Amino acid sequence: TTSIAVFTSDLRLRDNPVLHAALRAADRVIPLFVVDRRVAAAGFAVPNRVAFLRDCLADLDAGLRERGGRLVIRTGDAVEEIRRVAEQADAGEVHIAGGVSAFAGRREARLREALGGALRVHGAVLTAAEPGTVTPSGKDHFAVFTPYFRAWQGVELRTPFAAPRGVPVPSGVRSEPVAAVSLLGSGSPSPGLPEGGERAGRRRLTAWLRSGLGAYADRQDDLAGDATSRLSPYLHFGCLSPVELVHRARKSGGPGADAFVRQLAWRDFHHQVLAARPDASHTDYRPRGDRWRSDDDAVAAIAAWKAGRTGYPLVDAGMRQLAAEGWMHNRARLLVASFLTKTLYVDWRVGARHFLDLLVDGDVANNQLNWQWVAGTGTDTRPNRVLNPLAQARRFDPDGAYVRRWVPELAEVPGRRVHTPWSLPGVSYPPPIVDLAEAAARFREHRHTR
Ligand code: FAD
């Protein structure tokens, strides 16, 4: 007998319930990844994520080959390809992880139609707690993080599965080379893009548990310290299992581990919101009647924001880190998103799209719902708070080292003066594109005169 393990955002051998179940169900298994043309057509196949994905697939294939198997790659419509492979191999069961996006929902519905009872959908693969299992009484999801987190901490997580020893793949199943995946995207990836794949992810995880986690609670917001795990791309592509991460962090214990587990719960939180409200990827979760600016001034401001030339060095540093690495520190993400939506008063969708064009961890649930959270249309219980770039600079980049790292024009300016280049004689830097006090007044007025 043959079963199929369809890989989606779970590109790993360790703790993979989909692969585990497919192996238990039959003597042979086809590990299948479909390069779905719809994903490319929807604008998701951007150079940074395609490059990282290619690493992931090559690494997964290598891992499977060490176990006597290989990865089968097909390009086309996912449902059509899965059905075709299942038919050709006379597969009894097709296993796949449950997703939370509208896209994944449609794919699952179509698969059910095509495969009927042969389809097996697995929970708690892409998140630690399965969306829909942690709920307030009488509702389908939590709309506020703190009570969600309280309930989430009480969930008993399954024990992680070991990587399989052998993966017997039937012969004669056609596959495309990993390199074919590059056909999806054009353009070059960011120069500082990390290496993808489960092995690279595990190396980072080991180093993180050994020497980063302990100090995380104290250092997570220190922009220059760069002291977060940088595990987000590996979580996005599923090179690492969120269930395993929670177990291992809890085992380490201490305030760093507690703070880290809390961030992993934020990831689950946004996923359960999106699972319940898939439309929140593009419509306001909590509409507030915003009339976002889109005039010529706003168009110029958006261009300056994207280029990292707003005249506010901390904002600019974040945007330049994004371009250089395909990644940005969370504290900088919060600031640049607040700056776009609340200071420039530009629609969060504009910023979210730009992030998705570049982020290697770009993720519908985390990106869109964090943007909504910052814009005040999402789950923030204080939707009118505005982050001031100068106050943020004093708190999170007090010495200016983060700005000096990412803004070469200011690399020679010592200390915190780097945050106010307009006050420095002889330093040429774009003047601020917006007056903060005027912007704050505009925001209050727009928000209150809906
Ligand atoms: P760490 O601080 O080490 O945290 C560990 C893990 O917890 C992260 O890898 C991530 O999986 C999860 N996590 C941490 N903070 C959050 C959060 N606020 N929401 C959800 N999960 C979180 N994260 C993404 O993975 N993809 C995105 O597309 C994304 N877009 C964002 C957009 C905006 C406007 C903001 C404010 C945040 C966004 N985040 C996104 C969340 C967060 O910024 C990143 O997860 C984090 O910076 C990744 O770095 P790290 O792995 O070093 O995080």
Residue 372 near ligand 1, beta carbon < 6 Å: no
423 is in an annotated binding site: no
> Is residue 179 a part of any domain in this protein?
no
Under 8 Å between Cβ of 272 and 132: yes
Question: Based on the domain organization, do 260 and 346 belong to the same domain?
Answer: no
3-class secondary-structure state, position 6:
strand
Residue 179 is predicted with a pLDDT of 77
- Choose among 194, 251, 172: nearest CA to 48: 194
Question: Based on the domain organization, do 265 and 380 belong to the same domain?
Answer: no
Question: Based on the domain organization, do 66 and 109 belong to the same domain?
Answer: yes
Instruction: Calculate how far, in angstroms, residue 425's C-alpha sits from the geometric centre of ligand 1.
Output: 38
Measured CA to CA, the distance from residue 332 to residue 405 in angstroms comes to 14
Neighbours of 173 (CB within 10 A): 18
User: How many domains is the chain built from?
Assistant: 3
Question: Based on the domain organization, do 223 and 339 belong to the same domain?
Answer: no
Under 8 Å between Cβ of 238 and 9: yes
CATH number at residue 12: 3.40.50.620
Atom 2 in ligand 1: residue holding the nearest Cα: 228
User: Where do the H-state alpha helices sit in 6-140?
Assistant: 17-25, 37-41, 47-66, 78-89, 102-115
Measured CA to CA, the distance from residue 328 to residue 288 in angstroms comes to 28
| Non-local CB neighbours of 292 within 8 Å, separated by 6+ positions | 298, 341, 345, 346, 347
52 is in an annotated binding site: no
Instruction: Calculate how far, in angstroms, residue 396's C-alpha sits from the geometric centre of ligand 1.
Output: 17
Assigned token pair, 174 = 């056609």
Question: Based on the domain organization, do 254 and 117 belong to the same domain?
Answer: no
Tell me if the pTM is above 0.95. yes
Measured CA to CA, the distance from residue 116 to residue 108 in angstroms comes to 11
429 is in an annotated binding site: no
Q: Which secondary structure element, helix H or strand E, spans residue 93, and what is its range?
A: strand 93-97
CA angle 163, 166, 168 (to 5 degrees): 130
Q: What is the pLDDT along the chain (450 residues), one digit of tens a residue?
A: 999 999 999 999 999 999 999 999 999 999 999 998 888 777 788 999 999 999 999 999 999 999 999 999 999 999 999 999 999 999 999 999 999 999 999 999 999 999 999 999 999 999 999 999 999 999 999 999 999 999 999 999 999 999 999 999 999 999 998 877 765 666 899 999 999 999 999 999 999 999 999 999 999 999 999 999 999 999 999 999 999 999 999 999 999 999 999 999 999 999 999 999 999 999 999 999 899 999 999 999 999 999 999 999 999 999 999 999 999 999 999 999 999 999 999 999 999 999 999 999 999 999 999 999 999 999 999 999 999 999 999 999 999 999 999 999 999 999 999 999 999 999 999 999 999 999 999 998 887 665
Question: Based on the domain organization, do 394 and 250 belong to the same domain?
Answer: no
Question: Based on the domain organization, do 113 and 153 belong to the same domain?
Answer: no
142 is in an annotated binding site: no
> Is residue 165 a part of any domain in this protein?
no
Give the pLDDT confidence of 175-222 residue by residue, as tens digits: 998 877 765 666 899 999 999 999 999 999 999 999 999 999 999 999
Residue 443 near ligand 1, beta carbon < 6 Å: no
Instruction: Calculate how far, in angstroms, residue 290's C-alpha sits from the geometric centre of ligand 1.
Output: 26
Question: Based on the domain organization, do 50 and 87 belong to the same domain?
Answer: yes
236 Cα nearest atom in ligand 1 = 25
> Is residue 164 a part of any domain in this protein?
no
> Is residue 381 a part of any domain in this protein?
yes
CATH number at residue 139: 1.25.40.80
Question: Based on the domain organization, do 324 and 241 belong to the same domain?
Answer: no
Residue 369 near ligand 1, beta carbon < 6 Å: no
Question: Based on the domain organization, do 382 and 392 belong to the same domain?
Answer: yes
Select from 246, 276, 306 the last residue of a domain: 276
Measured CA to CA, the distance from residue 178 to residue 72 in angstroms comes to 9
> Is residue 335 a part of any domain in this protein?
yes
Residue 367 near ligand 1, beta carbon < 6 Å: yes
208 Cα nearest atom in ligand 1 = 3
Residue 11 is predicted with a pLDDT of 98
Residue 38 is predicted with a pLDDT of 82
> Is residue 288 a part of any domain in this protein?
no
Question: Based on the domain organization, do 314 and 338 belong to the same domain?
Answer: yes
> Is residue 144 a part of any domain in this protein?
yes
Select from 247, 276, 305 the last residue of a domain: 276
Under 8 Å between Cβ of 231 and 245: yes
397 is in an annotated binding site: no
**Domain, as residue range, for 202:** 127-158+198-276
CATH number at residue 423: 1.10.579.10
Helices and strands (H, E) in the chain, number of each type: 19, 5
Residue 183 is predicted with a pLDDT of 58
- Choose among 436, 361, 375: nearest CA to 193: 361
> Is residue 174 a part of any domain in this protein?
no
Residue 302 near ligand 1, beta carbon < 6 Å: no
Residue 449 is predicted with a pLDDT of 62
Neighbours of 432 (CB within 10 A): 18
Residue type at position 29? V
Select from 244, 276, 308 the last residue of a domain: 276
Question: Based on the domain organization, do 257 and 335 belong to the same domain?
Answer: no
Measured CA to CA, the distance from residue 81 to residue 85 in angstroms comes to 6
